[in-house]
Structure 1
Amino acid sequence: MRAAVERGRKARRGAQVKLSDVAKKVGVSPITISRALRNPEIVSEDLRQTILRTVEEMGYIPNLAARALAGRHNGIIGVITPALHQHGFAGLMIGIEDCLRATEFRVQYSNTLHHADGEAGELKSVLTQKPAGVIIAGAESYRDLLPLIENAACPIAHIIDLSQEPTTLVVGLDHHAAGAEPTRFLLSRGYERIGFIGRGTDIRSRRRKEGYEAALREAGRFDPDLAIGGDEGSSTGLGRELFARLLQRVPDIDAVFAQSDDLALGVLIECAVRGISVPKDVGICGFNDLEFSAFTQPTLTTVQIARYDIGHRVADMLLRAIRDEPPGEGKVDCGFSIIPRGSTR
């Protein structure tokens, strides 16, 4: 008896719903179902809703491998990022998905965790699946990626620091300027011994650090002891730890430019523990304008990046390229804004 029940369960698990089953239930041909799922705009709204409802009721799952063999691609947009685990990537992700949600494409993520030597391998892995397109959302190096990009059978779009190689299907910002301008802002508020706290191992952080150093050199206030970093990912605890170490090294520090709002929050907490007045004795500027930065006490001055807009625009660029439509702008600088709040004079 138990064996018979088990055989029945296995049979049910193996009874995969086919495209022809959905077509028979709706009363149309299998090719109509296939076309409607790939390009929903080609059928009437009533028929589209009937097909989608039947697909859901029957539990039909499209075979992406078969789709890729039968057509140009498998209907997937691959997104390769080094920072899926970081708060700042959420805005980009929502922008990408909002742009693609009403289309026939679905998103598949790959996380390199800032390992440059793994980027080419991740791109190869994605390309072997015959995706409709790929978004490289923050590559560390394009040296090994460029040959793959040049020979790819699908369009590839990029979110980059604008000093990097790609020149088409590009959205990004100048991270050197995004380090220099906040530093000049702190100088304009009367701060003189301005520290830099950040991980500093990826190209965006390195470019911002270079911008910070350039701005201090222009003002005649550069001191290498003012910059400190760590190998760990950005966190509030790391911000406290790095600021405490910086105070030991440079007791007269009077401002900090932190490479994330998480780090800046750690500096703010450490100041509160030590009885250091913010913004009178120490000014603090963060980066990313995460939601909590407007609700700390005092509120955090920060650098705002249009993360949602960047994600939406790069996905729109890629979508146009997949559909062989004019791309509009080939390279977009989304810039940044300094948001002055209570943590600076």
Structure 2
Amino acid sequence: MKNSGERGRKAKRGMQVKLSDVAKKVGVSPITISRALRNPEIVSEDLREEILRTVEEMGYIPNLAARALAGRHNGIIGVITPALHQYGFAGLMIGIEDRFRGTEFTVQYSSTLHHAEGEAGLLKSILTQKPAGVIIAGAESYCNLLPLIENAACPIAHITDLSQEPHRLVVGLDHYAAGAEPTRFLLSRGYSRIAFIGRGGDVRSRRRIAGYEAVMREAGLFQEDLIIGGDAPSRIGLGRELFSRLLERVPDVDAVFAQSDELAFGVLIECKARGIRVPEDVGICGFNDLEFSPFIEPSLTTVHLPRQDIGHRVADMLLRAIHDEPPGEDRVDCGFSIVPRGSTR
């Protein structure tokens, strides 16, 4: 015959453990448990250890909605990115996670899948949950976001283009320069029919296109047909497709500045399939300096971005704002560098 204790445990199976259940087990008030979970340093070490042990044993999960009602925020850091699956954003996420790991905050990611029309709705949805703060990691367009940003009850930090965006709490780089300098580099290596391929819909890409175009016009080499883009996210297959379309329009193209290393890798694969020599016939420069870029053959010339450092800096900036600490710099330029490798002369 089963005892009443076993029956009691079975009856509770599937029921959510409440804060009051933890408090009863520990022998203190629910408010003491709540305060100890938010600020562990306010209770003694022995009590803190007992509370944490009981929380783990009972499987207590804090109610974020209740936490938001009781205080200024629910402890969530909302991060909005254009795409979670792209390699270029992985380094940013690692940097952000590094800084919030071990804090009272939980990072929650959301993706717009590069749809500008969905950005405002997504940000509004996050803000209604009373987050501690938000990081917008590369918006497609800020036009629809500005009213929400200006009236938000929490700090919002941005990873974006520094050459024109007026927001506070911004970390990033000058994307106009990041389009101009690689173009100058390719010209210096003897290339002249330099194409620009990639998405043109978001703020950063538009600024890089503007930088590329300015340098090509200055050199007297600009041609509209040398710019070719697509609405799909950067993928290797898209790189092959865009380069094939480019060759139909400009058969004598001699260099490609691709807006991601994935696109550049696709261009390289298409060149090999067509018997086009790289870098002799066509030079290729990517963007992002992803992990595989030094190891393909030929190794990929690219633009290096300190993605993990950008993640660190934006998280640090947001943490200071959340805690009402002096902001320090509220616009941080992390810069970029060109990494010459085997895919260019």
Deviation at 1:47, TM superposition (A): 4.7
* 1:296 alignment partner in structure 2: 296
* 1:339 alignment partner in structure 2: 339
Deviation at 1:67, TM superposition (A): 0.7
Alignment of 1:266-281 (within 5 A): 266-281=266-281
| Whole-Å separation in 2 of the counterparts to 1:133 and 1:315 | 10
Deviation at 1:48, TM superposition (A): 4.0
Deviation at 1:243, TM superposition (A): 1.1
SS of residue paired to 1:257 = strand
| Whole-Å separation in 1 of the counterparts to 2:53 and 2:108 | 24
| Whole-Å separation in 1 of the counterparts to 2:220 and 2:74 | 56
| Whole-Å separation in 1 of the counterparts to 2:109 and 2:153 | 19
Letter in 1 for 2:207: R
| Whole-Å separation in 1 of the counterparts to 2:143 and 2:15 | 47
* 1:249 alignment partner in structure 2: 249
* 1:4 alignment partner in structure 2: none
Give CA deviations for 1:256-275 in whole Å, capped at 9, x if unaligned.
Answer: 10111111001111111122
Letter in 2 for 1:328: G
The answer to whether residue 211 in structure 2 is matched with residue 211 in structure 1 is: yes
* 1:65 alignment partner in structure 2: 65
Letter in 2 for 1:85: H
* 2:197 alignment partner in structure 1: 197
| Whole-Å separation in 1 of the counterparts to 2:67 and 2:9 | 28
The answer to whether residue 145 in structure 2 is matched with residue 145 in structure 1 is: yes
| Whole-Å separation in 1 of the counterparts to 2:210 and 2:293 | 25
Mean CA deviation greater in 9-18 or 194-203:
9-18
Unmatched 5+ stretches in structure 2: 1-7
Conserved? CA contact 1:197–1:228, under 8 Å = yes
Conserved? CA contact 2:141–2:202, under 8 Å = no
Conserved? CA contact 1:234–1:263, under 8 Å = yes
Change in CA separation of 1:187 and 1:49 when aligned onto 2, cut-off 3 Å: farther
* 2:285 alignment partner in structure 1: 285
Give CA deviations for 1:143-194 in whole Å, capped at 9, x if unaligned.
Answer: 2322222222111111111244443111111111111111111111111111
Deviation at 1:110, TM superposition (A): 1.9
Change in CA separation of 1:164 and 1:41 when aligned onto 2, cut-off 3 Å: farther
| Whole-Å separation in 2 of the counterparts to 1:49 and 1:190 | 67
Change in CA separation of 1:79 and 1:166 when aligned onto 2, cut-off 3 Å: farther
Conserved? CA contact 1:158–1:166, under 8 Å = no
Conserved? CA contact 2:139–2:202, under 8 Å = no
Conserved? CA contact 1:40–1:104, under 8 Å = no
Mean CA deviation greater in 153-162 or 36-45:
36-45
Alignment of 1:7-26 (within 5 A): 11-26=11-26
Conserved? CA contact 2:140–2:201, under 8 Å = no
* 1:101 alignment partner in structure 2: 101
Change in CA separation of 1:308 and 1:215 when aligned onto 2, cut-off 3 Å: same
* 1:313 alignment partner in structure 2: 313
SS of residue paired to 1:25 = helix
Letter in 2 for 1:197: I
Give CA deviations for 1:49-91 in whole Å, capped at 9, x if unaligned.
Answer: 4433332221101011111111111111111222223221111
Deviation at 1:45, TM superposition (A): 5.5
Conserved? CA contact 1:135–1:157, under 8 Å = yes
Unmatched 5+ stretches in structure 1: 1-7
Conserved? CA contact 1:79–1:107, under 8 Å = yes
Letter in 1 for 2:198: G
| Whole-Å separation in 2 of the counterparts to 1:39 and 1:340 | 50
Alignment of 1:214-233 (within 5 A): 214-233=214-233
| Whole-Å separation in 2 of the counterparts to 1:198 and 1:10 | 58
| Whole-Å separation in 2 of the counterparts to 1:40 and 1:170 | 32
Conserved? CA contact 1:73–1:130, under 8 Å = yes
TM-score, scaled to structure 2: 0.92
| Whole-Å separation in 1 of the counterparts to 2:268 and 2:43 | 57
| Whole-Å separation in 2 of the counterparts to 1:126 and 1:46 | 37
| Whole-Å separation in 2 of the counterparts to 1:175 and 1:165 | 11
| Whole-Å separation in 1 of the counterparts to 2:289 and 2:47 | 44
| Whole-Å separation in 1 of the counterparts to 2:42 and 2:9 | 39
Letter in 2 for 1:272: K
* 2:186 alignment partner in structure 1: 186
TM-score, scaled to structure 1: 0.92
Identity over aligned pairs, percent: 83
CA RMSD of aligned residues (A): 2.1
Mean CA deviation greater in 330-339 or 12-21:
12-21
* 1:133 alignment partner in structure 2: 133
| Whole-Å separation in 1 of the counterparts to 2:279 and 2:92 | 31
Letter in 1 for 2:92: L
| Whole-Å separation in 1 of the counterparts to 2:216 and 2:209 | 11
Give CA deviations for 1:178-225 in whole Å, capped at 9, x if unaligned.
Answer: 111111111111111111111222221121111111111111111111
Letter in 2 for 1:154: C
SS of residue paired to 2:244 = helix
Change in CA separation of 1:304 and 1:44 when aligned onto 2, cut-off 3 Å: farther
Equivalent pairs, count: 339
SS of residue paired to 1:209 = helix
